[in-house]
């Protein structure tokens, strides 16, 4: 039987660990698949995605900055995709209809709740940033019943727009003066770390019991997590678990198979992630 063809589409895409993650899931479940990395030239998402599906592509993942293009490309969207206006998983049904899902938000929630055993329910959450990465997680965080969620961004207007789109009474865009002391959970969704920086935020947002999660991951502790650990020794985690969990949810959409993720997360951490 021919291997089913999958891929991740994005730009850049060379760094993606999705092929090794999905090959691990395939081994676990006895599925046969190929999984490629496809670079999408600027403005060419629709063309590349159409060609991939025309050439026996069964489904694909989408990484930054193409999740909005994928949202526009699909025929049907899941609630998470609709609310976040982002699609990271595409599948095609037996009628040829193209479905778009967002597994980033649910993947984060699974990592927080099941892998790390951190609570979301009734927690006071601060999310930093208001770009594409944050847009993909807000709705699912809200579905997990926090007491409230404050969104803080260097450019306040972008946080206000996202808050308006989410339309949830528990979520507020906050300015520096509205930031509270000692949030239960602080999530960094800014791209400041890519330039070796920590987003400017007063230290008081972190208390002894605050937990800090960086959506990105790297070969060592992220700059943000280093900063948080230094303040009151906060417990920290990076986005490697979220990466594997979102992939597990994509795999489930494609194959209706459950996979184990714990061991794979440890292996990926040991073999270096970038
Ligand atoms: P992504 O798709 O990774 O989310 P993005 O959509 O470009 O990338 O968004 C980047 C986010 O990181 C934005 O919220 C950005 O803040 P602005 O909206 O003010 O640009 C935030 N960001 C990037 N560099 C930052 C820095 N040095 N300090 C604080 N926030 C930063």
Nearest CA to ligand 1 atom 2: 132
**Residue 130 and residue 230 in one domain:** yes
In the residue annotation, 208 being an active-site residue is answered as no
Beta bridge partners of 5: 34, 57
109: containing domain: 105-238
Ligand 1 centroid, distance to 131 Cα (angstroms)? 6
Residues touching ligand 1 (Cβ under 6 Å) are: 64, 129-133, 153-155, 158, 190-192, 197, 199-200
Work out how many domains the chain is built from and give that number.
2
The confidence score (pLDDT) of residue 225 equals: 97
**Residue 87 and residue 110 in one domain:** no
**Residue 109 and residue 234 in one domain:** yes
Other Cβ atoms less than 10 A from the Cβ of 270: the count is 8
**Residue 225 and residue 112 in one domain:** yes
**Residue 62 and residue 180 in one domain:** no
**Residue 221 and residue 258 in one domain:** no
**Residue 114 and residue 226 in one domain:** yes
Write the Ramachandran bin of 272: left for phi over 0, alpha for psi from -120 to 50, otherwise beta: left
Q: What is the pLDDT along the chain (274 residues), one digit of tens a residue?
A: 678 999 999 999 999 999 999 999 999 999 999 999 999 999 999 999 999 999 999 999 999 899 999 999 999 999 999 999 999 999 999 999 999 999 999 999 999 999 999 999 999 999 999 999 999 999 999 999 999 999 999 999 999 999 999 999 999 999 999 999 999 999 999 999 989 999 999 999 999 999 999 999 988 899 999 999 998 889 999 999 999 999 999 999 999 999 999 999 999 998 874 4
The confidence score (pLDDT) of residue 274 equals: 47
**Residue 145 and residue 36 in one domain:** no
**Residue 234 and residue 125 in one domain:** yes
**Residue 45 and residue 144 in one domain:** no
Ligand 1 centroid, distance to 230 Cα (angstroms)? 23
**Residue 11 and residue 36 in one domain:** yes
Give the SS3 label for residue 66.
coil
* CATH code for the domain of 127: 3.40.50.720
CA distance 56 to 50: 10
- C-alpha distance from residue 133 to each of 25, 86, 125, 188, 272 (Å): 24, 9, 16, 10, 22
Nearest CA to ligand 1 atom 25: 192
- Predicted TM-score of the model (pTM): 0.96
């Amino acid at each position: 039987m021919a291997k089913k063809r999958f891929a991740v589409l994005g730009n850049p895409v060379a760094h993606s660990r999705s092929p090794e993650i999905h090959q691990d899931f395939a081994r676990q479940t006895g599925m046969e698949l190929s999984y490629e990395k496809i670079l999408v030239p600027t403005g060419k998402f629709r063309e590349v995605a159409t060609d991939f599906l025309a050439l026996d592509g069964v489904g694909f993942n989408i990484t930054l900055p193409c999740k909005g293009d994928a949202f526009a490309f699909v025929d049907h969207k899941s609630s998470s995709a609709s609310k976040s206006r982002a699609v990271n998983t595409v599948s095609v049904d037996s009628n040829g209809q193209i479905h778009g899902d967002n597994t980033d938000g649910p993947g984060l929630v699974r990592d927080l709740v099941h892998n790390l055993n951190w609570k979301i329910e009734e927690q006071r959450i601060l999310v930093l940033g208001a770009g594409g990465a944050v847009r993909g997680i807000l709705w699912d965080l809200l579905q997990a019943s926090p007491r409230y969620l404050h969104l803080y961004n260097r450019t306040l207007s972008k946080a206000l727009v996202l808050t308006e789109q989410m339309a949830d009474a528990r979520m507020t865009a906050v300015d520096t003066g509205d930031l509270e002391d000692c949030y239960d959970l602080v999530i960094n969704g800014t791209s400041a770390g890519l330039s070796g920086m920590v987003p400017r935020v007063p230290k008081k947002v972190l208390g002894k019991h605050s937990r800090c999660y960086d959506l990105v991951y790297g070969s060592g502790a992220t700059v943000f997590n280093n900063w948080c650990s230094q303040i009151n020794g906060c417990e920290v985690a990076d986005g490697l678990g979220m990466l594997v969990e979102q992939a597990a949810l994509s795999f489930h959409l494609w194959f209706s198979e459950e996979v184990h993720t714990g061991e794979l997360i440890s292996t990926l951490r040991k073999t270096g992630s970038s």
